[in-house]
Amino acid sequence: MKKMKYIVAMLLMIAIGCDDDDIRGNLPLTNFSPNAEVKTDGSGDVIFKTTVSGATLVEYDFGDGTTGESLTGYTVHRYTEAGQNTYTVTITATGSDGTTLTETVEVTIDLPVTNSDFVNLLTNGDSKTWFVAVAQPSHLGLGPAREGIDGDWWYPKWYSSQAFEKCSDELSDCFCDDELTFSVDNNGEVSYVLDNKGQTFFNVGHKDVAGGTADEDYCYDYDTSGTKNVTITMVSGNVPEGETTGTQMDFSDGGFMSYYVGSSSYEVLSISEDLLYVRTYDSENPDLAWYLRFTSEAATGGGEESLETVYTNLVWSDEFDVDGAPNPVNWTYDLGAGGWGNGEAQDYTSNPENVKVEDGMLKITAIGSGDASGTKHYYDDITLVGAGGAISEVENFEGTAPVFTNFGGASSSVIDNPDTTGENTSTKVGESLKTNGAEIWGGSFFDTSTPLDLSTYSTISIKTWSPTVGAVIRLKIENQANDQEFFEVDANTTVSEAWETLTFDLSTAPAFTYDRVVLFFDFGVSPVGNAAYTSARIKSENLYEFTYGRVEVRAKLPSAGGTWPALWALGANFDEVGWPASGEIDIMEHVGNNSNIVSSALHYPGNSGGNAVTNSTALPTATSEFHNYTVEWTPDSIKFVVDDELIHTSFVNSIDTPFNNNFFFIMNIAMGGSLGGVIDPAFTEDTMEVDYIRVYQ
């Protein structure tokens, strides 16, 4: 009888299970919430807990070349690479009807490196040569050395975020030629030789060692021959656990690693087979730490290596041989102002004066109207106010001007007070210019040296001058380390062409750290009229998109100060995943304010904006002659070439990057902005000419 009851119970369970599957199959995939918990016990384990309604399977690509799956969303994965490494984990939930949802999370793993592990990575078990990682951002960085000094010590202010700042400047180009060779003998003793090719890049504070006289960092003749002994010890001193591998290298006889700051001890922050990242403390100022990145791959460049292409079959091109508008089969337009977050000044149009095909060339022309028209507001005396009337001044613009960051076609600067009557008779004020055609959300921000004290003060008052009554002034306070932590509040002007004091209530602001002040004047409005600058931006989006190949563009570039021409490609999934997750391949970028240099860059998660993987080369005739700009993009690498000879950036592609999907082309001239810089006040117009663009596969 008991056996019969058991069988009946099992049949009921099976029946109920089938009913559950049928019901779940009708549910959409919703409430997708990936979660990763990194274990701090040094095991390398990460616990993934993904919740999602309606899913029958959750799959993981762990970002280290391995994958896994779970019926419940719960799984544990162990990472094994020593040092500090960040992995992008792709998580895909699948419903019973086959629909999927995908999200990515980043996990950073710190695994201790033993001496034997470290020596093997450093020397390859015998002898290994390292090179300055000139193709990577922050190959030379500067930051405070210890907690409590100049803010967050673990957020270095990069001294060189782009390789061309060091490798194309004769004052410092010797730095990029150094070869650092580590060897290990049968007894496990490590030795070191620095081949500096006769010159060493010296920090200005140590120039006396080389008998130098320059008032800046400089390359001096300096003998680094001879073998040094390397002692490997545990890191000592004021370094928090978790911010280091715990390994330190001490060099005998004054040995040092490439850049001279008077130190012979280097803390190892991370090491892998192809990357070595170290920190050392300046012997003249131990409160400063210098950061250096080295790679086991020799930098290419200097015209010594030509491209051996793997792509020879022409699959797509535009020769620009039919006069008129660009071929609509190949090209469409981005239109509007604001520069997409880069603070640019142009309004993109499809007008023939800005873009046309003529005499066998595509001609993109930036034009200045001579009228920097738009809407101007003035502001002053940004002050915290407490309930009892206590005040704390944030900014009055009378001293050193704050560093403004502009966006959306608006810009701020400090000027002489244009109206010293009424409420504000001070000498200096802030000016906000919102150019005609700017984005409705255009504005500017500056960072404060200390966070706003909202425990003592509950409001901010700002003196403002507006040309109209009823203009919306939006104040946003933000955490500069986490832009998702912010608070916004609006006020409306009540007078025109006169100063008044507006008050912004901060009493309901969440308890975040607020050390950034963002201001939007005429929020929600885009000024109308003729833009100060017009230009064009054409693209092949939804018309021609491709994965992998050799792209060759022959072009002559504009030379005027403030021009920022670019030939580039953007991930075609941009609308779905956003930037930089889509990836960006900058085949060529140039700025008129530095007209003898051309650069290339790759933007992707973790390496975007000013932290992109970038490099450049000198090209004195970039604005007077046509040159070939080429990218060779394969599943394994991305290489940039100028005139078929000079490879000036090489990148190892892998499944972990976004450079394995379709991309589309963009060609444009921007004006000003974060890279274009100051626009020549006498600017009238300038043109980029493109002879052809070709894709080989």
Indicate the SS3 state at residue 166: helix
Could you give the CA distance from residue 309 to residue 550 in angstroms, rounded to a whole number?
A: 8
Q: Record the tokens describing residue 521, joined without a space.
A: 């004047």
Could you give the CA distance from residue 163 to residue 616 in angstroms, rounded to a whole number?
A: 7
Q: How far is CA 293 from CA 132, 274, 371, in A?
A: 6, 10, 47
Could you give the CA distance from residue 543 to residue 360 in angstroms, rounded to a whole number?
A: 22
* Beta carbons of 259 and 290 less than 8 angstroms apart: yes
**Omega before residue 620 within 30° of 0, cis:** no
Could you give the CA distance from residue 640 to residue 600 in angstroms, rounded to a whole number?
A: 7
* Beta carbons of 553 and 629 less than 8 angstroms apart: yes
Indicate the SS3 state at residue 670: strand
Count of other CB atoms within 10 angstroms of residue 553 = 22
* Beta carbons of 211 and 198 less than 8 angstroms apart: no
Asked whether the CA dihedral 114, 137, 607, 628 is positive or negative, the reply is negative
**Partner residues linked to 558 by β-bridges:** none
Length of the chain, please? 697
Query: What single DSSP character describes residue 622?
Result: T
For the chain, give me the number of helices (H) and strands (E)?
Answer: 5, 52
Could you give the CA distance from residue 164 to residue 561 in angstroms, rounded to a whole number?
A: 19
Asked whether the CA dihedral 269, 105, 632, 163 is positive or negative, the reply is negative
DSSP state letters, 18-32: HHHHHHHHTSPPEEE
Could you give the CA distance from residue 555 to residue 548 in angstroms, rounded to a whole number?
A: 22
Could you give the CA distance from residue 354 to residue 367 in angstroms, rounded to a whole number?
A: 7
* Beta carbons of 234 and 211 less than 8 angstroms apart: no
Could you give the CA distance from residue 656 to residue 653 in angstroms, rounded to a whole number?
A: 8
- Known catalytic residue: 541? no
Identify the burial level of 108 via C-beta atoms within 10 angstroms of its C-beta, where 0-12 means exposed, 13-18 middle and 19 or more buried.
exposed
Amino acid at 204: V
- Known catalytic residue: 485? no
Indicate the SS3 state at residue 664: strand
Q: Which residue out of 589, 625, 685, 689 is catalytically annotated?
A: 589
Q: Record the tokens describing residue 96, joined without a space.
A: 């019973």
Q: Which residue out of 584, 632, 685, 689 is catalytically annotated?
A: 584
Long-range contacts of 417-423 (CB under 8 A, 24+ apart): 417/378, 417/380, 418/378, 418/465, 419/378, 419/465, 419/497, 419/498, 419/499, 421/498, 421/499, 422/498, 422/499, 423/463, 423/498, 423/499, 423/500, 423/501
Catalytic residues, by residue number, are 584, 589
